[in-house]
Amino acid sequence: MECRDFTLQLDDWLDGRLDTFRERSIRQHLNVCADCRRRHQHALAVQAAVRELPAPIPHPSFVEQALARAIRGPGAGARSTRRFVFGMALAASVMLGVALGLFLTMRPTPVQAVLLTLERPQTVRLVFNSAKSLQAATLSLALPENIELVGYGGQRELAWQTDLNEGRNLLQLPLIARGAVKDELVARVSHGGSSKTFRLKIGVDDAGPAGM
C-alpha cells in the first residue's frame, strides 16, 4: 500500500467501513510508515476533539419562553392595546437630546450592556437597521426578572406587530429596574418565517439618582 492509498482509505477505516483484507493492508502499512502513523494519530485526535466539544445548555428562561411562544402560535403577535411605533431614526442631535436616554445601536457598533438606576424610569433606545421596508414584522420582548416596561406592570413578555422602514428604525423602551437583574433582555424580530434575536445585558446601579 502507498501512503496515498492510506490517506484515501483512512476515513473509511476510522468509520469501520473497510473489509478485512483492506483493513489488514492498512495495518501492515502503518507498521512500516511513521508518516501515516502520525496521520492516523492526528485524525483520531481531531475526531476526539470535535466529538468532545461540549454544547451549551439552553437557558431555563429560554426553554420556558420558547415553549410558551410555541403554544401561543406564530400568529400571537399584537396582543397589547398599546403599540410601540417604529419610525425613521431622528437626527443624532435629537436622539442625544433625550436626557436619560441610553442609546443602544445594533450596528455597526453594538453595545452589549446598559446600566439602569434602581427604581428610576429610563429609556433604552434600540436601533434596527433594515435593508428594505418590512410590513407586519413581529417584535417580541422578554424582560428579565426585576425589569419592568413602564405602563405594563409586571408583564414580562410582550409582542407587537409593526412595520419596519428601510434604514434605521428606532424603538424606545421605557424601563425601570426593581432589583438586581440576572438574565438578559431578549428582543426578537420575526418576519416571513425568518427571525433574529438580540440580547441586552442590563446592569443595575443601586446608588440612586445621585449615582448617575
Q: How far is the CB of 197 from other proteins (least distance, A)?
A: 5
Three-class SS state of 4 = helix
| First-last CA distance in the chain | 74
Nearer to other proteins, 41 or 155 (CB): 41
Q: How far is the CB of 84 from other proteins (least distance, A)?
A: 16
CA 84 to chain CA centroid, Å, is 22
**161 contact partners, CB below 8 Å, separation of at least 6:** 77, 78, 136, 137, 138, 139
Nearer to other proteins, 105 or 148 (CB): 105
Nearer to other proteins, 147 or 164 (CB): 164
Three-class SS state of 122 = strand
Find, among 168, 167, 145, 166, the residue nearest to 157 by Cα. 145
Nearer to other proteins, 171 or 175 (CB): 171
Q: How far is the CB of 119 from other proteins (least distance, A)?
A: 27
Q: How far is the CB of 43 from other proteins (least distance, A)?
A: 6
Residue type, 197: T
Nearer to other proteins, 83 or 196 (CB): 196
Q: Which residues bind other proteins (CB under 8 A)?
A: 11, 15, 38, 41-43, 45-51, 53-59, 62-63, 66-67, 69-71, 73-74, 106-108, 110, 112, 128-132, 134, 137, 184, 188-189, 191-199, 201
Q: Are strands 87-88 and 167-177 parallel, antiparallel or unpaired?
A: antiparallel
- What does the alpha-carbon distance between residue 79 and residue 197 come to, in Å, rounded to a whole number? 20
Q: How far is the CB of 182 from other proteins (least distance, A)?
A: 12
Position of cell 482509505?
9
